[in-house]
Structure 1
Amino acid sequence: MGSVVNLEGKIYSCKHCQTHLALSEDIISKSFHTMNGRAYLFNNAVNISVGGHEERMMMTGIHTVADIFCVGCGSIVGWRYETVHEKAQKYKEGKSVLERIKISGPDGSNYGSDADDA
């Protein structure tokens, strides 16, 4: 496994192990929703491993997606769009969705259902 990439700037990281995953400037959309709540579409994500491809029915139709995992701790953090069949949705191809419940924001906040540990 290669070395872990450290990002600079406003960083989204794994909630469990704080491994850097993406930059806020790479957010394409904050309007995604999953069974676990809100999710963000990122232009680029780092320090992830990609699972097997599968056809999944989404709100915008059937897409070929792959779950993505944090390389630091192995937690599932979201998914990546591999193939998008709808022309209007093509911008999602190769992009990663990180679920807010699985990541910490740039200000250190957790968006999960757990109460803050403060």
Structure 2
Amino acid sequence: MRRTLVMAAAGLVLAAPAAAGQKHDLDADKNGQITRAEFDGHVAAQWADKDKNGDGQLTRDEAGAKDAADWTAADTDGNGTLSQAEFTAKKSAWFTRADTDGNGTLSTAEATAAKAAKPRR
């Protein structure tokens, strides 16, 4: 019973929402691991969802950014918007931190721990 509950909770993490009302399944092959390729595909889908006007830049409104410090850190060129490269770099850094064993994939435990480490606002 406990294992079933843990796996169900982990499944929610692996299918985290990318944008309001939309989901991009991070574990595309349903093997219980998120590979870098699966994650990168998820990030690309997030970008497409968020760049509503298609100008190749995300405003804070488009990104839904609430944390000014996070936004400033991600906006490496300081122009007030995020390019796709800046957006991808921020997400990639999260994956690297979450992959605590350095094997290039996120286990359910790693994904759960990483999401719990920084609560959504």
TM-score (norm 2): 0.28
Q: Which structure features the higher share of helix residues? A: 2
Bigger CA radius of gyration:
2
Q: Which structure features the higher share of strand residues? A: 1
TM-score (norm 1): 0.28
